[in-house]
Amino acid sequence: MTQRTVEDRLREEYFLLAPEIKRVLHQLQTDVAYLLLPVTLDLKHHERIHVEARAKDCDSAINALRRREEARQFDEDAPARYTLTSLPDLVGLRVLVFPKSRLEGVHAMVRAKYAEWSSDPVKTGIPPRFRAWKYHGFCSASSRVRAELQIVSMLTGLFWQIEHDAFYKPRDPVLAGAAKKPVIREQTDRVYDAFDGLEDVLERELQRNTEQETG
Amino acid sequence: MIALAHRVSGTQMTEMTEKEQLLESCGYRYHFDRMIYFNRSVRRAFSLEFIEGRSQHEIQQLLQIPATNDWAFHFNRPVSDRVKGELTKALEK
């Protein structure tokens, strides 16, 4: 009889978890949208708050677990070591905010509601530079499916989507490996810095425009 | 000593990129799928995570260890025989 692989077991686990994954996604998305409703209704014409939520599909979840292993190799002799419930982001929600001056307020609201969740800010580059707030925790809908919340400035968040679509969505391990290569990461960090700078300038110019209109 | 004063787009390279240069200048290749640096002729491999956590000096010392007939895997976590077998098969393809 053929022995089941680690991947076979993880696929089974995914389908057992699937109803809970859906419930967590629905709860988190609805709770955060409701929480941010007052500030969303208060936005000026050029300001934006986007809430984007997703659940990892089965293959993405297994690949994410595999990428946490050195040499991306599951140890088939130790299948009990692997469970999808160890992933911090089976469900993920990202709040994209523009301009930056809105970020702190949005973050404070989200953090107050999810005060128990553990903080794991996104920092990249050398020396590490702050890019986004990130939290992990459980919703009341499930004690097994962990969710991740990110609050990020709009341009950086949109670039992450492009990066994800380019490197990870094709499900090509070579592309995913390329994204982690130091020389590529170094260039990616420069893009983050450029977006930071662009957002700062944009904000300054918008502020100047407001002052001229009111002054 | 290998010259490490390379620059990328006019900016000083980070320490990690310098470590990568060091490995590549010693005949190691980056395995995009596995995210390891490996050299078939000396049968040695380093995981990306291992390289991130070590200094250039430490890596240089490991690079000087003479090759044997078996593959040597420098990973942060101990490598089981099963994983060694799988990786050896993959790297010798």
Per-residue pLDDT, A194: 94
Q: In this complex, which of B32, B36, B81 lies closest to A178 when CB atoms are compared?
A: B32
A13 found inside a domain: yes
A1 found inside a domain: no
Q: What is the mean pLDDT of chain B?
A: 85
Per-residue pLDDT, B2: 30
CA distances from A109 to A99, A140, A191, B52 (A): 16, 19, 29, 36
Range name among A10-24, A164-178, A184-198 with the lowest pLDDT average: A164-178
Per-residue pLDDT, A215: 73
* Tens digit of each residue's pLDDT (9 = 90 or more) over A145-180: 999 999 999 999 999 999 888 888 777 878 888 888
Per-residue pLDDT, A126: 76
Per-residue pLDDT, A177: 87
Per-residue pLDDT, A1: 67
Is residue A191's pLDDT more than 90? yes
Tell me which residue of A200, A209, A201, A205 sits closest to A100, measured CA to CA: A200
Q: In this complex, which of A67, A177, A183 lies closest to B32 when CB atoms are compared?
A: A177
- Taking CB atoms and an 8 Å cut-off, how many pairs form between chains A and B? 73
A201 found inside a domain: no
Whether the Cβ atoms of residue B45 and residue B89 lie closer than 8 Å to each other: no
* Ramachandran angles phi, psi of A189, nearest 5°: -60, -35
Q: What is the pTM of this model?
A: 0.86
C-alpha B10 chain-centroid distance: 26
A63 found inside a domain: yes
A50 found inside a domain: yes
Q: How many domains does chain A have?
A: 1
To 5 degrees, how large is the angle CA A41–CA A47–CA A50? 75
Per-residue pLDDT, A169: 75
- Which residue do the tokens 């949005």 mark? A106
Per-residue pLDDT, A91: 98
A175 found inside a domain: no
CATH code of the domain containing A113: 3.30.460.10
> Is B45 in contact with A177 (Cβ distance < 8 A)?
no
A184 and chain B in contact, CB less than 8 A: no
Q: What is the mean pLDDT of chain A?
A: 93
End-to-end CA distance of chain B: give it in Å, rounded: 32
Per-residue pLDDT, A180: 87
> Is A180 in contact with B48 (Cβ distance < 8 A)?
yes
* Tens digit of each residue's pLDDT (9 = 90 or more) over B47-61: 999 999 999 999 999
Q: Which residues of A touch B54 (CB under 8 A)?
A: none
Q: Which residues of A touch B11 (CB under 8 A)?
A: 190
| Residue of chain A minimizing CA distance to B7 | A183
CA distances from A38 to A28, A29, A41, A142 (A): 17, 16, 5, 27
Tens of pLDDT, residue by residue, chain B (93 residues): 233 333 333 334 578 889 999 999 999 999 999 999 999 999 999 999 999 999 999 999 999 999 999 999 999 999 999 999 999 999 987
Q: In this complex, which of A72, A183, A185 lies closest to B33 when CB atoms are compared?
A: A72
CA distances from B9 to A67, A112, A183, A215, B12 (A): 29, 43, 11, 44, 9
Whole domain around residue A57: which residue ranges? Answer: 6-156
Per-residue pLDDT, B12: 45
Domain ranges for chain B, please list them.
29-91
Range name among A84-93, A168-177, A198-207 with the lowest pLDDT average: A168-177
* Tens digit of each residue's pLDDT (9 = 90 or more) over A110-124: 999 999 999 999 998
A110 found inside a domain: yes
Rounded to an integer, the average pLDDT of A53-80 is: 95
